[in-house]
A and B are shown apart, each in its own frame.
Chain A
Amino acid sequence: MHTNVGWLALVLAGTAGAQDGAAPARETLLVRAEHVIVAPGRVLDAAQVLVRDGRIVAVGQDLEAPAGARVLEGRWVCAGFIDPWSALGMAADGLAELNATAATRSIDGFDPFSLDHLRREALRAGVTSARVQLGAQARIGGLGAVVRLVPGLGRDEAVVAEHSNLWMSAGLSLPTGMQFVETPDGFQMVSGNRAQDPFDRVESVDRIVSALQAGRNYLIAQNEHRHELEDWKKKIAEKEAELEKESKKAKKDREKAQKDAEEKGKPFEEKKYKEDKKPATPRFDEDNEVIARAVDGRLPLLIAAEREAEIRALLAGTASHGRLRLVLAGGSEAVHHATELAERRIPVLVWPAPLGRGRPDELEAHDLSLAGRLSGAGVRVLLGSGGRDPSATRDLPLLAGLAVAHGLPSAKAFEALTLGAARALDVADRLGTVEAGKDADLLILDGPPLASTTNVRFTISSGRVVVTPEN
């Protein structure tokens, strides 16, 4: 009895703790602003946004607050920012995983209860969701996920897309060089500075290309099997119909054969039809299932590559996969292939961090002007915090500002952080714009988005007011 009471107290204490850390409740909200950026390039002045049950219900210029709705006001309203290259929420061991395969799921290494203070800082800076990825340096890093950054959300609400992409990386093979260093505020990934044999680097691309080819062969085998199976079913049906039609004769023939066998003292054998042979099912392979989806264009494929040699080999090796939705991540030397990237509509996910001298070898050409140069050449640009340091997600808007200072038009930077990221990760039906039907992930700002001097007044994530000027 005594033990039971103690246990109960523990449970109650646990419950109280969980409530302290719980996300604020969903509310019915009417947001009023001088400017509402409905979607990149579409601004509605003196407008309102109505939010109910976690969704945007209406956007207009004459909306009234329904009874009981909370009214929030600000100068600018836009969609919450998305960090498509983040480390926030992944356990360090997951990030460092080197033995991942295509079917390894980042979502299994996602910890919705870790580093709450960093999540709150990210929300305060306007970053409401992020793509997390295990195996950041693995040749094949597995399936990435898009998650909300609100502490205390249940898993179901925290996960926006369980499988947002497949991730691979070329060139950087740092099993000995890379490590994660624990810091009081989380951890940081430290890239090794191990010089690599150029042949090794290009070989790493060959492996990626072979994996894609294997995935395509798998897809072809699956498709062929599907067709064969359909043909077989058709033939069976035809034969059955035929037998049905001539059922009396068939019955007589069978009885005769049965009688003959009995007379001759032989065992009776049923007549065989060639249609009886069902086509063999190809062997199921969970990794090739995932790669096949990427090859078929049903899952975006993000490949990290910094140097020209790897990028060139990747472009050549993927040219025959017409349905592949490739996104190049990093791309320090991608300017040399800007024309092809633009023609093939391959976006580049840029990490516009100010790096000094003494950076790892593969980032030697890393430069803040990359986003501006690529954009100027017609390449679609995405911006991310690099997936190395969970605390960097907070500063994604500042990184975007640096990209703007170095030549990226600010409209493109804004698009990169909202609709561009949502589209690239197949979550544009839920995130990225302020339109009716989308999830209510909104920022209420006291100035234009992406200006370093702008403050976020309110952050709303799926209808929950998670940042206010007071908290």
Chain B
Amino acid sequence: MIDILFAFATAVLPAEGTLAIRARAVWTGAAVLENAVVVVADGRIRSVGAEAPRGVEVLEHPGVLTAGLIALHGPAGAVGETSDGTRPALPEARVGLAVDPRSVELVALHAAGITSILVTPDPAGITAGTSALVRTADGSILRDPAHLSLVFSAEGLAGNRAPTSRSGALAMLDELFAGTRGHVADAKAGRLPCLFEVRERDDVQRAVAFARQRKLAGALHGAALSGELASAIRGSGLAVISPVLGVGTPRRVLDAVAQLAKEEVPFGFGLDAPWNHQDSLRLSAVLCLRAGLDRAAAWRALTANAARIAGAGDRVGRIERGLDADLVLWSGDPLDLASRAEVVFTRGVARTIQHAVPAPEEVRR
């Protein structure tokens, strides 16, 4: 993994104090501001405007400043620690506790402009525990627990222990939700959203019915064609985490994602790093964009909507006064795959990304 060895980052500014960043364009999530200044103080965004306050150090950059990207699914940072094959139901297991803050997987994600990831339990049994939103820069926790994982797909089934069938799994989920303690009680009371692991469209239907019956909030993850059921999903109030989309993704899948946007179902992308490459997150959005999804929706899926789905919409995902300064300076339009993350900020601390090959000197037209 050469890129991990090379794509390290160096801190250039202290965490404390005030910093102003001026970029050719600032994408706040609500608007694109030309030549704007974002002021960061004590790790948070203090203001967004045209001018820097007097006496404040200004970092000038010719590219685009955005909120950091958020990847919504996978074991990165906790590989091997996200399921327990011996027991089918572990609602109290917290994968957030297993994250290694010095993991090279997190370094690779950080260098690709992904400032936080939702670390999720594997779809094993009926639940392998709770997810956590983790910063890639230092493994620090933004939200833990973020969701209770509930498995509706065949991935949770096994031949040598229960559940062995989908109906068996549903019976066990019913039994689990008869409980009145811990994460299950939090989920039933609406304090803890659920992450519904689905694969096929019939899994989506069962999960939506289960959520509606118990008035559960949360998101469906894993069904590439869930967009074909967008209107039913919309009625349930659930969000969708699309599986990562790779090179050659069939048009039908891309159209299904566009259908989610049309029905106004909030969605983001799972990445499942390290099994998928960090650049596949932006690639997922770009594939949808080229298949007709509008730019704003593609961008929200990578940032603001992803933050909301992870339960941290009030902390990250947009450039707005009061939010954490988890930001990225890109060499150009971040929805152009030829652009790269050049500086990544975590709570205001800037790290310059050292890429394996320095940027070519030529200027793109």
Contact (A453, B251) CB under 8 Å given A355-B277, A356-B275, A369-B3: no
Whether A406 touches B247, Cβ cut-off 8 Å, given contacts A356-B277, A357-B274, A411-B362, is no
Q: Contacting A407 at CB < 8 Å: which of B275, B339, B358?
A: B358
Chain A proximity of B244: nearest CB distance (Å): 9
Whether B59 is near chain A, meaning CB under 8 Å from some CB there, is: no
Q: Which of B9-17, B159-167, B329-337 contacts A (4 or more CB under 8 A)?
A: B329-337
Most chain A CB inside 10 Å of its own CB: which residue of B2, B333, B340: B2
If the complex has contacts A368-B3, A410-B362, are A453 and B356 also in contact, measured as CB distance less than 8 A? Answer: no
Closest to B337 in A: A401
B275 touches A372 (CB 8 A): no
By the criterion CB–CB under 8 Å, are A448 and B339 in contact? no
Q: Per a CB cutoff under 8 Å, which of B248, B278, B340, B358 touches A389?
A: B248
Residue in A354, A372, A450 whose beta carbon sits within 8 Å of that of B280 in the complex: A354
| Structural contact, B338 and A452, CB atoms closer than 8 A | yes
CA distance A357 to B339 in the complex (A): 23
A243 to B65: give the CA distance in the assembly, Å: 94
B250 — which chain A residues lie within 8 A by C-beta? 183-185, 391
Which residue, B252, B272, B279, B289, has most C-beta atoms of chain A within 10 A? B279
How far is A408 from B364 in the complex, measured between Cα atoms in Å?
12
| CB proximity of B31 to chain A, nearest CB, Å | 18
Interface stretch, picked from A7-15, A392-400, A428-436, is: A392-400
B277 close to A354 (CB less than 8 A):
yes
Does B54 reach chain A (CB closer than 8 Å)? no
Contact of A367 among B340, B356, B359 (CB under 8 A): B356
Which residues of B are found within 8 Å of A373, using beta-carbon distances? Answer: 356-357
1/0 per residue B132-144: CB within 8 Å of A? 0000000000000
- In the bound complex, what is the Cα–Cα distance between A224 and B279 (angstroms)? 56
Option from A121, A185, A356, A392 in Cβ contact (under 8 Å) with B274: A356
Q: Mark A375-396, 1 if CB is under 8 A from B, else 0.
A: 0100000000100011110110
Q: Chain A: how many interface residues by the 8 Å CB criterion?
A: 46
Tell whether, in the assembled complex, residue A452 and residue B335 are in contact, meaning their CB atoms are under 8 Å apart.
yes
A241 within 8 A of B: no
- The docked-state distance in angstroms from the alpha carbon of A394 to that of B360 is 26
- A-side contacts of B247, CB under 8 Å: 353-354, 385, 389, 392, 395, 398-399
Tell me if B323 is interfacial: C-beta within 8 Å of chain A. no
Contact B275 A358 (CB under 8 A): yes
Q: Does residue A125 face the partner (Cβ distance < 8 Å to B)?
A: yes
Partner of B356, one of A117, A183, A369, A455: A369
Q: A369-B6, A372-B357, A385-B247 are in contact. Are A406 and B276 (CB under 8 A)?
A: no
Are B356 and A452 in contact, CB atoms less than 8 angstroms apart? no
Closest to B295 in A: A453
Q: Which residues of chain A come closer than 8 Å to B362, judged between CB atoms? A: 409-411
Chain B: CB-nearest residue to A358: B275
Do A369 and B336 have beta carbons less than 8 Å apart?
A: no
Chain A residues with Cβ below 8 Å from B295 are: 453
Q: Is the CB of B251 within 8 A of A117?
A: yes
Identify whether the interface residues of A are mostly helix, strand, loop, or mixed: loop
Which one, A354, A369, A411, A450, contacts B283 given CB within 8 A? A354
List A residues 416-458 near B (Cβ within 8 Å).
448, 450-453, 455
Q: Looking at the complex, which one of A353, A395, A406 makes contact with B287 (CB distance below 8 Å)?
A: A395
Q: Determine the distance from Cα of A21 to Cα of B148 in the docked complex, in whole angstroms.
A: 51
Contact A398 B248 (CB under 8 A): no
B128 at the interface (CB under 8 A from A): no
Residues of B within 8 A of A72 (CB): none
| A286 shortest CB reach to chain B, Å | 35
Q: Which of B276, B338, B360 contacts A356 (CB 8 A)?
A: B276
Asked if B204 is at the interface of the complex by the 8 Å CB criterion, the answer is no
Given contacts A389-B248, A407-B355, A407-B357, contact A398 B287 (CB under 8 A): yes
B356 & A398 in contact (Cβ 8 Å cutoff): no
CA distance A206 to B194 in the complex (A): 57
Chain B residue numbers with a CB within 8 Å of A358 are 275
Looking at A354, A357, A372, A394, the one whose CB has the most chain B CB atoms below 10 A away is A354
Tell me, yes or no, whether A257 is within 8 Å of chain B by CB.
no
Q: How far is the CB of B137 from chain A (nearest CB, A)?
A: 21
Interface assignment of A295: CB less than 8 Å from any CB of chain B? no
Interface string of B251-268 (1 = CB under 8 A from A): 110000000000000000
Contacts of A117 in B (CB 8 A): 251
B286 within 8 A of partner (CB): yes
Q: Are A367 and B3 in contact (CB under 8 A)?
A: yes
Any B CB within 8 A of the CB of A18 = no
Is the C-beta of A405 less than 8 angstroms from some C-beta in chain B?
yes
Q: How far is the CA of A409 from the CA of B360 in the complex (A)?
A: 5
Q: How far is the CA of A125 from the CA of B272 in the complex (A)?
A: 27
Within 8 A of B (CB), among A172-228: 183-185, 188
The residue from A183, A369, A394 contacting B355, defined by CB atoms under 8 A apart: A369
Residue interface bits B322-365, CB-to-A below 8 A is 1, else 0: 00000000000101111110000000000000011111101011
Residue A404 is within 8 A (CB to CB) of chain B in the complex = yes
Known: A392-B247, A410-B338; 16 extra A-B contacts, CB below 8 A, are A185-B250, A185-B251, A188-B248, A369-B357, A372-B356, A392-B248, A399-B247, A401-B336, A402-B279, A404-B360, A405-B337, A405-B340, A406-B340, A407-B356, A452-B337, A453-B335
Interface residues of B (CB under 8 A from A): 1-3, 6, 246-252, 272-280, 283, 286-287, 289-290, 295, 333, 335-340, 355-360, 362, 364-365
- Between A and B, 27 residue pairs with Cβ closer than 8 Å are A184-B252, A354-B276, A356-B273, A356-B276, A358-B275, A367-B356, A369-B2, A369-B3, A369-B356, A372-B357, A373-B357, A376-B357, A392-B248, A395-B247, A395-B248, A398-B287, A401-B336, A401-B338, A402-B279, A405-B340, A407-B357, A407-B359, A450-B338, A451-B333, A451-B336, A453-B295, A455-B290
